[in-house]
Chain A
């Protein structure tokens, strides 16, 4: 039997949707997927760096939610739970990929793929757009090289716009850890951008 939702969870319309889905309501589940598909796909793509793999991963995230739907306790926002599943799933895939790369002796560069969800500005001209895309590709490569724990914090903070508190909740870490990981991620990106000559980093001295 499902436990009654906690006060914060009671305001979240996603929990009743999940409950109905678990009870066999396909439309409720489809509605739930539709509400969150964009952000979960984006998170998977930012974490994995590969469009094709991201779609499969996002599917798996929703399937995990569905399979274990009856066991989840309605607590907080369902989106936080989804992010948690997504981050854990993607980190597992990245670890698996690392092992495979080691076994096949692949280079890192061989796996780089242009992300489908590239930022684009409709107002920009072809040259600007090309430049922006090139810049983004460099940023993307630098993000891919970040350690997993820094990458997840950066993706959730910068691309998903989650608050530090939400990130701490998703990743199960302290606020201090979120802050320090983000700072380290940004420092690493800055160094990578300076090395790569992306021309997007600040040139000021760091303390």
Chain B
């Protein structure tokens, strides 16, 4: 038996076997009818998978894809795509805002404790404490009997 494997026969059928090896295969097939039959079988099988004819590309395919790609890009326009100075300004404003909020909260808290103010809500229930507050603040006069 020759040194040709099924892989080589398939490579020959696919037109991918190099010229010297193809010549060797031709010569081997001329000597060995079994190899020749095997080669014919592989070639027949390969040919049975007809290659595609020129495909029909859907009308306007490229235009649609391009429009979609650029539409996506404009939608995805974000802070990341802005110039550096804009991003820096936005980041600074965010940090300043957070610092201001924290600072103000801290100052107010400190001033509150200095004045001895305590939270007036002692109840576990927000609703109850709200009603208590209402009663105290409105201090409705009791109906005279």
Which residues of B sit under 8 angstroms from A55, Cβ to Cβ? 58, 61
Chain A residues contacting B61 (CB-CB under 8 Å) are 33, 37, 41, 55, 58-59
Contact B50 A34 (CB under 8 A): no
Chain B 112-137, CB within 8 Å of chain A: the 1/0 string?
00000000000000000000000000
- Cβ of A126 within 8 Å of any chain B Cβ, yes or no, is no
Chain A residues with CB under 8 Å of B53's CB are: 117-121
Within 8 A of B (CB), among A41-66: 41-42, 45-46, 55, 58-59, 62-63, 66
A94 on the B face (CB < 8 A):
no
Instruction: Assess the A46–B52 pair: CB atoms within 8 A.
Output: yes
Are A186 and B10 in contact (CB-based, < 8 A)? yes
Residues on B with C-beta less than 8 A from A136 are 50
Q: How far is the CA of A163 from the CA of B48 in the complex (A)?
A: 19
- CB-CB nearest in chain A for B47: A200
Asked whether A33 lies within 8 Å of B50 as measured between CB atoms, the reply is no
The contact size tier of chain A is: 35 or more
**Is the CB–CB distance between A116 and B56 below 8 Å?**
yes
Cβ-defined partner of B51 (8 Å) among A29, A158, A182, A205: A158
Residues of A38-91 at the interface with B, using a CB-CB cut-off of 8 Å, are: 38, 41-42, 45-46, 55, 58-59, 62-63, 66-67
In the assembled complex, the Cα of A183 lies from the Cα of B50 at a distance in Å of: 17
Please, which residues of chain A bring their CB within 8 A of the CB of B14? 157-158
Q: For the complex, what is the distance from the CA of A30 to the CA of B63, rounded to whole Å?
A: 6
CA distance in complex: A207, B39 (Å): 11
Bound CA–CA A59/B7 (angstroms): 35
Beta-carbon nearest neighbor of B66 in chain A: A30
In the assembled complex, the Cα of A38 lies from the Cα of B54 at a distance in Å of 8
* Bound-complex Cα distance A19 to B71 (A): 18
Which B residues form the contact surface with A (CB < 8 A)?
6-7, 10-11, 14, 16, 37-38, 40-42, 44-46, 48-58, 61-66, 68-70, 72-73
**A residues adjacent to B (C-beta < 8 A):** 26, 29-30, 33-34, 37-38, 41-42, 45-46, 55, 58-59, 62-63, 66-67, 116-121, 132, 135-136, 139, 143, 154, 157-159, 161, 163-164, 179-180, 182-183, 186, 189-190, 193, 198, 200-207
A-B pairs with beta carbons under 8 Å apart, 17 shown: A30-B63, A30-B65, A33-B61, A33-B62, A33-B66, A38-B55, A59-B68, A62-B65, A63-B72, A67-B72, A119-B50, A164-B11, A179-B7, A182-B10, A186-B10, A198-B48, A206-B41
